[in-house]
A = this chain, B = another copy of it.
């Protein structure tokens, strides 16, 4: 099979997968509401790798919807240090594509023993994780064989948006959901800007990906995808954190890839892009602004924009891998399921 064919095929399924999930919203929200406590004290998310970036998105939308603090679990507290914990009144959400990552399953079991109401987001309704959780969201994305998670990552983001709807008010509407598959389709049918951005990155040894707020997860995800598929040193940052020190690493030969969509976080990202340009650094803007280097659909609002933006990150990683002679379907001998204890 030609290099990158598998990844491209799975990327192209995203409008369909997202459309099906959007259609299942009423059923999923009802199922989740039946399992969730009426007023959770807080929410804890358990994930690794790309799934952890979906959890970073969840961190924002679930806290907004529930009004209660949301935390990303520190798994070693439960697997290595075996602390005594009281999670009664809490909701614990585990995210794993396979539903078979041993560490994630162990942590969810421990949090259940500590009193948490458990929710699983997996791509396999028969997986151990889905079977042991009080309620599960099956992504229905179909098998994913390429090493870089694509359709399962965007489906996980969508699942967190649906979980937010089960918890409280959300900053999007049914119309926004309806626009989502088309927005992703528009991105997929327009790979040329990502190709040009990959050419602009060229043989850089590294880059920094930034965003803020809802889109922060995409900066992390873009950096991971690029590292996985090309071994470039790419690090994801919140624009706010990036100002606290390491801005000097961005220079002519190490571009800044910035993600933004119209909304409260966009001015901060634009300000950082300007700062970097003033310092002589090179900027690749992925946004819904008219002067973007890589466009995002204008009819998907900021709180759902991580989905089309993640697809732009997939395109960018795939193009750069192919340019560097790496097969993005199975780069550097990486395995699909990682065993961590």
Contact = CB atoms under 8 A, between A and B. Distances in A.
A13 interface: no
A241 B50 CA distance: 10
A38 to B, nearest CB: 13
B334 A76 contact: no
Contact of A48 (B75, B103, B228, B244): B244
A248 B229 CA distance: 9
B81 A64 contact: yes
Copies of this chain, complex-wide, total 2
Contacts of A233: 205-206, 233, 235, 249, 254
A87 B246 CA distance: 32
Contacts of A23: none
Interface in A61-108: 63-64, 67-77, 80-81, 83-87, 89-90, 103
Interface in A290-331: 331
Contacts of A44: 69
A245 B228 contact: yes
B240 A103 contact: yes
A185 interface: no
B89 A41 contact: yes
A42 interface: yes
A231 interface: yes
Contacts of A84: 67
A67 to B, nearest CB: 5
Contact of A241 (B52, B212, B249): B52
A199 to B, nearest CB: 21
A265 B76 contact: yes
A81 to B, nearest CB: 6
A207 to B, nearest CB: 9
Interface in A236-268: 238, 240-241, 243-249, 251, 254, 264-265, 268
B80 A334 contact: no
B235 A248 contact: no
A134 interface: no
A340 interface: yes
A291 B318 CA distance: 41
Contacts of A85: 63, 67-69
Contact of A69 (B87, B212, B241, B338): B87
A72 to B, nearest CB: 8
Nearest to A208: B233
A85 B340 CA distance: 35
A172 interface: no
A241 B80 contact: no
Contacts of A251: 231
A16 interface: no
A313 to B, nearest CB: 14
